[in-house]
């Protein structure tokens, strides 16, 4: 890849065995997300989901200074006024929905700044592993932005309503320990250990039965979103699919033979 290609803000995917690493690459602007980058998120997720070899998706920022500082503010004058604001929100919404609806496990690996839309992206992932340099904020109130109601749901899936209000009312920046205490992140690790920790976690998940993980993800998300009326028929069907799978037979055989199972996702 040429230096010119590297300098162009983009999302870049690298596959390492069963793990797809999607990098938010715009280091000159602390990995801020341009309109084109927002637009590419659904396609990147779709490609990883379609790849039968990929079992876990990890999102990270280029370098170690920022996961993402959020939406590229240089585009706000044109992209976030009038009709442009609605179109921009639609790009954000499609990106968040692609992550929320992804049937494969997703992990956000967070170093440095994780702000605004960057935090929105991280909150749409199943897990957030952060190091001690990480900082978190949603500065919508400081910019006069109305924070889309659809994007509050991932916040409330992570933190209590009063903590969500603290986050949105103040626009305050929270350091890693405070974010951990709030519940914004799943695990706090040292800067030296974060990549190894994320890689080990992703591989541990990838080694397990894909249908079982997919069913668990579906069940947790469905009950979390619709606690009063989850689609129990669909949830039961997901569980039944696991019991009818070759992987269930393989898991039983491996247990009896005292060996590591080899799951295929079928």
118-165 tens-digit pLDDT: 999 999 999 999 999 999 999 999 988 888 888 999 999 999 999 999
Task: List helix spans (H) across 183-244.
Answer: 194-206, 210-225, 232-243
Which pLDDT does position 197 carry in this prediction? 98
Which pLDDT does position 25 carry in this prediction? 97
Q: Which residues contact 167 (CB under 8 A, 6 or more apart)?
A: 137, 138, 155, 159, 174, 182
Kindly report the pTM of this predicted structure: 0.92
Q: What CATH homologous superfamily does 3-205 map to? A: 2-enoyl-CoA Hydratase; Chain A, domain 1 (3.90.226.10)
198 SS3 class: helix
The two tokens of residue 242 are 């696991």
CA–CA distance, 60 with 63 (Å, rounded to integer)? 9
Residue 6: pLDDT over 80: no
Domain spans, the chain? 3-205, 208-257
The tens digit of pLDDT for each residue in 38-49 reads 999 999 999 999
Residue 82: pLDDT over 50: yes
For the ranges 6-20, 111-125, 161-175, 246-260, the lowest mean pLDDT is seen at 6-20
DSSP 150: G
Q: What is the dihedral angle through the alpha carbons of 145, 148, 152, 155, rounded to the nearest 10 degrees? A: -50
Which pLDDT does position 2 carry in this prediction? 46
């Amino acid at each position: 890849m040429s230096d010119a290609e590297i300098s162009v803000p983009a999302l870049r995917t690298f596959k390492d065995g069963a793990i797809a690493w999607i990098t938010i690459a715009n280091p000159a602007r602390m990995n801020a997300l341009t309109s084109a980058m927002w637009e590419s998120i659904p396609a990147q997720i779709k490609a990883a989901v379609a790849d039968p070899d990929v079992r876990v998706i990890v999102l990270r920022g280029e370098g170690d200074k920022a996961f993402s500082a959020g939406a590229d503010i240089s585009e706000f004058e044109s992209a976030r006024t009038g009709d442009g604001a609605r179109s921009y929100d639609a790009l954000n919404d499609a990106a968040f929905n692609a992550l929320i609806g992804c049937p494969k496990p997703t992990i956000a690996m967070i170093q440095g700044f994780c702000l605004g839309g960057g935090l929105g992206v991280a909150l749409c992932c199943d897990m957030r592993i952060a190091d001690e340099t990480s900082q978190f904020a949603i500065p919508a109130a400081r910019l006069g932005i109305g924070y889309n109601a659809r994007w509050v749901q991932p916040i409330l899936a992570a933190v209590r309503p009063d903590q969500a209000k603290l986050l949105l009312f103040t626009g305050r920046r929270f350091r890693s320990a405070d974010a951990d205490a709030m519940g914004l992140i799943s695990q706090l690790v040292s800067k030296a250990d974060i990549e190894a920790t994320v890689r080990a976690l992703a591989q541990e998940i990838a080694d397990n039965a894909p249908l079982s993980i997919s069913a668990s993800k579906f069940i947790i998300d469905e009950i979390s979103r619709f606690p009063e009326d989850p689609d129990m028929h669909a949830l039961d069907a997901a569980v039944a699919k696991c019991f009818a799978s070759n992987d269930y037979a393989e898991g039983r055989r491996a247990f009896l033979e005292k060996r590591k199972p080899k799951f295929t996702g079928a």
